[in-house]
Amino acid sequence: MTDRDPLLDPAIDPAAMRKQYRAEGLAAQDLATHPMDQFARWFEDAARAALHGTVYEPNAMVVSTADAAGRPSSRTVLMKQFDTEGFVFYTNYDSRKARELAENPHIALLFPWHPLARQVIVTGTARRTGRDETAAYFRTRPHGSQLGAWASAQSSVIASRTPLDAAYADLEARYPEGEQVPVPPHWGGFRITPQAVEFWQGRENRLHDRLRYVSRPDGTWKVERLSP
């Protein structure tokens, strides 16, 4: 142990941590007409950066939900599909996030691509995917992940890891590698329909570029610049 005050060490003092963003700016005239097309451009950049080891898991996003009383919760989830309709992720329907979405369908997503000095922030509503779509994705999961979807009662309190490991071992014996695992009835996807999508580009002196698409009633989008 050391008697050194950690707040006097700039290496571990949050207030002393500084990062100057020197990325090129983001101009409204350079944006795609549709936010999902613009997301595709940035996601491709993040995916290419991942191939070079710069970004880790570019499809990782922070998912924020709130219960019926408005109490929020957040966690990191992997986005598994995006298209003009929005974003899709999969989860246990008995998990905390799924239970909160059943009470309150409003949701926020955050893609934190820190090495690129970029963020994408999405607000919208969530609805469950159909069972056919869920089953099609489930079949693409590794065998172990399919078993894990059955073994874990996600978000429930457990006394230790022992029963979790035992449940997985039982499933592994019942469904060995190569044998089809049924889709759990309590597991499936959520499709996020965006109502606003903000593209955040870090700039010098904290004067970041923030351009936000906002959905209009007629299905078109307006773009507005936010002050950093």
Tens-digit pLDDT profile for residues 144-189: 999 999 999 889 999 999 999 999 999 999 999 999 999 999 999 9
Kindly report the pTM of this predicted structure: 0.91
pLDDT mean over 66-83? 97
206 is a catalytic site residue:
yes
The pLDDT tens digits of the residues spanning 50-70 come to: 999 999 999 999 999 999 999
Active-site residue identified among 206, 210, 212, 225: 206
Asked whether the predicted pLDDT for residue 22 surpasses 80, the reply is no
pLDDT mean over 28-41? 97
Q: Is 158 or 3 the better-scoring residue by pLDDT?
A: 158
* Residue 23: band (very low, low, confident or very high) from pLDDT cuts 50, 70, 90: confident
Asked whether the predicted pLDDT for residue 4 surpasses 80, the reply is no
Question: What DSSP string describes 165-212?
Answer: HHHHHHHHHHS-TTSPPPPPTTEEEEEEEEEEEEEEE--GGG--EEEE
